[in-house]
Amino acid sequence: MKSLSLTLLASLPLMLFSCVGNKPAPTQERVPIQPVEQAPPADVGQNNFGGPAVMPADTTGMAERMRRMREEQNRIRTVHFDDLSMSDPFIYADQDTRTYYMTGSGGRQWRSKDLVMWEGPYNVVDLSGTWCEKAGFAAAPEIHKIGDYYYYAGTYSDHSEIIQAIPKRYNVPHNQTYLLRSDSPEGPFVPFSVTPGYDYEPYEWDCIDGTLYEEDGHIYMVFVHEWTQLIDGTMDYIELSKDLTRTVSEWPVTMFRASECPSCGEMNGLGEATFGLKMPGWVTDGPQMFRTKTGRLGMLWSTWGKERYLQVVCYSESGTVAGPWIQEKEPFLGNNSGHGMLFRTFDGELRYVVHHSEGNGPRKPQYWSVDDSGDKLVLGERIILPR
C-alpha cells in the first residue's frame, strides 16, 4: 500500500505540469509563492545529503575562520589529483591547448597537462545581469565545444524564489541549467542567451544537471527533473536552437523515471535524508550521453541505492535520444560513488572520472579505466596515480 500511494503521488506533479508551457511568464506577472511546512526533519545521526552543518558549541571567531578558509580555498595553487575534494567532476580534454580542464560543483576550474598535477582553482564565469548571479554557486558544471565556441553548462539555484510549495514535503526553489559561452576553454564564460537568465527548461520545473548532446544535426539539453518535486525523478531532453540561445521544442520529452532502474532505491526506505528532510522518492542525477565503438548509444547517470550513491547505465533501443531507454540490472559502480563522466586522454585512452566518499567524509575524484569496444561499457580498474 505504501508503494502504491507513493506511485500515485508521483504522478500528480506530472499531471499538473502537463498544461504548463516551457516559456516563463514575465517576472512582473508572477505572484510570489509563500513557503509551507516541509517534510519531517532528519533524525540525529541519520544519513543526510546536502543538509545543514551542525554548528559547533563554540562559535567564537567563526566568521574570521570562515573568511580564512574561503581565502585558502580560492588561492591559486598546484595540487596532486588525490588531494582534491570535489563533487560531480567533469573533465574536458582540449586538443588545441593539449590541456585538461576539470570543473565540478562550486564552479571553479582546474587545469592540468598530465592528469596528475592540477593548477587552480580559477573563476572562469561571469553571470552579470542574470538571476544566476544571486546563486553564484554552479552545481555540476560541464564544458562542451560546439562549432567555434566553448559552452559552460552549470546549474544555478535561487532559494529566495519558490516555484512550487508542496505541503509537508518541500519548498521548491528556482533551479535551472543555464548556458554560458566563451572563445576559450579558460573563459571567461559569459551570458549569450536570447534574454539574460533565460530558462532553457520549463520555469515551473525543478531542473538540474543539464548536459549537451548532438545527434543528426540537432542539439539537445538532457537534464534531470528533480525527484524533490516529482517524487519519482525523471530524465528529460529538450531541443535547442542551432546557436544555443534558446529552446525550440514545445515541451521536454521524458526519457525514463528513476524507479525504472533496478538499482534505484526509495530514499526514506534507504534511510537517506536530503537537505535535512525526510522526503520519500526515487532520484535521477548527473546524465552523460556516450556511444560505444560499435555505435550503441548509452547514458551514464546516478541514483541512490543499497550502497548509497550509485553510478548506473542505460541504453537506447532505437540508437537515438528518443529511446526507449533500457536500464542495466546492476550498478556500473557502487560503494557511494557516482556522478561520473567519460573522457578520452590525448593518448587515446578512455577514462572515467567519478566522485567517491568514504563514509561521511568529503567527496573525492577518482579515475577508472573503461572498455567501450563492445556493445556495453565495461568498468576496469581504479587508476592509482604516482606521487
Per-residue pLDDT tens over the stretch 61-100: 767 776 676 677 788 999 999 999 999 999 999 999 999 9
Q: And the C-alpha cell for 55? A: 554548528
pLDDT of residue 354: 98
pLDDT of residue 137: 86
Give the pTM. Answer: 0.91
pLDDT band at residue 176, thresholds of 50, 70 and 90? Answer: very high
> Is the per-residue pLDDT at 197 higher than 90?
yes
Q: Which residues contact 178 (CB under 8 A, 6 or more apart)?
A: 130, 132, 153, 154, 155, 156, 191, 193, 197, 198, 200
Q: And the C-alpha cell for 73? A: 580555498
Average pLDDT over residues 104-115: 96
pLDDT band at residue 135, thresholds of 50, 70 and 90? Answer: confident
Question: pLDDT digits over 345-360, tens only?
Answer: 999 999 999 999 998 7
How many other CB atoms sit within 10 Å of the CB of residue 30?
12
pLDDT band at residue 2, thresholds of 50, 70 and 90? Answer: very low
* Contact status, residue 76 vs residue 121, Cβ threshold 8 Å: yes
> What topology is assigned to 2-18+34-53+79-383 in CATH?
Tachylectin-2; Chain A (2.115.10)
Q: And the C-alpha cell for 4? A: 502504491
Given the DSSP bridges, would you call strands 47-49 and 272-274 parallel, antiparallel or unpaired? parallel
CA distance 368 to 377: 12
CA distance 158 to 131: 8
Question: pLDDT digits over 238-292, tens only?
Answer: 999 999 999 999 999 999 999 999 999 999 999 999 999 999 999 999 999 999 9
Domain ranges of the chain: 2-18+34-53+79-383
pLDDT of residue 19: 36
- Residue 275, exposed/middle/buried by CB under 10 A (0-12, 13-18, 19+)? middle
pLDDT higher at 275 or 21: 275
Q: Which of 177, 159, 274, 270 is CA-nearest to residue 227?
A: 274
